[in-house]
Amino acid sequence: MSHLTRWCVVAALAAGTMSACSADADPPAQQSAEVATATYNLGNTAFKPPGFRNAIELAGVVHYPKDLGTKAHPMVMMLHGAWTACVKEGQRAQWPCPPGVAQIDSFRGYDYLGEHLAKRGYIVVSISANGINETENGDGYDARRALLNKQLQLWQQLSATGHSPLVGKLVDATTGKPAAVDFAHHVDMTDVATIGHSRGGQAVMEQASDRHRKEWPHGVQIKAVLGLAPTTNGADGRVDPITSLPLLTIIGSCDGAISPYVTSEAYFNAARGRSKARIEKVTVPGANHNFFNTSWSPSGGRPRATDDSPATGPHQCTTSESDAKDVRKLSETEQRQVATTYITAYVDRFLRGDMSADDVLTGKRRPDGVPSVDLTVDGR
């Protein structure tokens, strides 16, 4: 059996069908593709989420293989959490930011992950939710879910027809000139993973839930959902369950922004024993909340960036569990390394059917140089 045939069988089994197995199927991508980066902004008031008070932006950054070849690539869409958007002391919350007021682009805080996944052949879009962050008043939860669906719809239109408001709006992040890329028929919107951090994590989990999946745009199929320290809408940790999609949560034991043992675990617990797919929880000793996003981390040099861990020393933090204990605090680089490792393995497994890193996901093997984690797996 050839390498291509072996991969085809594995991918088909992972998808639950052999119908997709064909002679021209793409084998798993290797981390070798040259990556290009483009940004877009359709306007800071281009979209009015249903029920939300203000119109917000439709903006994002795209990391993609520079050579798209002739086939469609799986899509990964990322959504950041709640953070200051307009930086000016004493300024009331408003959107768009007033002239001359600096804006923190939280959606660029995952460039490290976008570049890594794009090297493996994915088209990765990180979207901005600054307009929601700046003006929400307890009503941002549904707005984030609506924003995610709107952005997915734009990309589905672009890939399926070549006609979308995104046409002509993509700008090369290096040169500032129009990006020389045509995504028509190059994005497989039936093979999508969503990744969210903090309130963005809550948004992707809610959008993927059994209750809300009917809202997905026509032509979009999400194959896996991943949350980095996802929040919940309420202190009791009750959430809408996800019972038909693979689910991964990554939780820092020294998260100083939320209670990871109540909120972030809620999505795993709601699906446990009920899901038809594989679900997994990765608890990272010594990880905090902010270091997953470079724009929120001190080394990024952005205003208000901070280490949120309950620190007990330069290299120690206190865990958030009831029997709190001091552990070694991870550096920014180490924390992002953990996220990149487990996110890549999960996305490869459920978007490409590549199970070569399954021993990492099950805890049988810890990759060299990656800090140890605690794994809980339920399902196949």
Reduced to 3 states, what is the DSSP secondary structure of residue 270?
helix
Whether the per-residue pLDDT at 346 is higher than 80: the answer is yes
Reduced to 3 states, what is the DSSP secondary structure of residue 362?
coil
pLDDT digits (tens, 9 = 90+) for 143-160: 999 999 999 999 999 999
**Given this structure, which CATH class describes domain 33-378?**
alpha beta
What pLDDT does 237 receive?
Answer: 67
What pLDDT does 184 receive?
Answer: 97
* % of the chain surpassing 70 pLDDT: 89
Mean pLDDT of 132-144: 92
Residue 261: pLDDT band (50, 70, 90) is low
Mean pLDDT of 97-104: 90
Whether the per-residue pLDDT at 175 is higher than 60: the answer is yes
0.85 exceeded by the pTM?
yes
Distances (CA, A) of 25 to 28, 145, 224, 354: 10, 33, 20, 13
Residue 314: pLDDT band (50, 70, 90) is confident
Helix axes 199-208, 140-161, angle to 10 degrees: 60
Q: Which amino acid is at 92?
A: R
What is the rounded distance in angstroms from the CA atom of residue 252 to the CA atom of residue 230?
11
Q: How far is CA 253 from the centre of its chain?
A: 20
Element of type H or E holding 265: helix 265-271
Extract the tokens encoding 142: 């549904």
Q: Which residues contact 308 (CB under 8 A, 6 or more apart)?
A: 255, 256, 257, 288, 289, 290
Residue keyed to tokens 């034991």: 253
Residues 151-170: b if buried by 16+ CB within 10 A, e if exposed:
bbbbbbbbbeeeebebeebb
Q: Strand ranges (DSSP E) for the chain?
A: 35-41, 59-65, 73-79, 86-87, 102-103, 123-127, 171-172, 187-197, 222-228, 247-252, 279-284, 311-313, 316-318, 326-328, 374-378
Mean pLDDT of 342-364: 96
Residue 174: pLDDT band (50, 70, 90) is very high
Reduced to 3 states, what is the DSSP secondary structure of residue 281?
strand
Beta strand pairing call for 73-79 and 123-127: parallel
What number of residues does the chain have? Answer: 380
What pLDDT does 7 receive?
Answer: 38
Among 252, 249, 287, which Cα is nearest to 268's? 249
Residue 9: pLDDT band (50, 70, 90) is very low
pLDDT digits (tens, 9 = 90+) for 176-205: 999 999 999 999 999 999 999 999 999 999
Q: Domain residues of the chain, as ranges?
A: 33-378
What is the pLDDT of the chain when averaged over all its residues? 89
Q: What is the dihedral of CA 308, 126, 205, 235, to 10 degrees?
A: 30
Beta strand pairing call for 311-313 and 222-228: unpaired
Whether the per-residue pLDDT at 4 is higher than 50: the answer is no
What is the rounded distance in angstroms from the CA atom of residue 56 to the CA atom of residue 132?
7
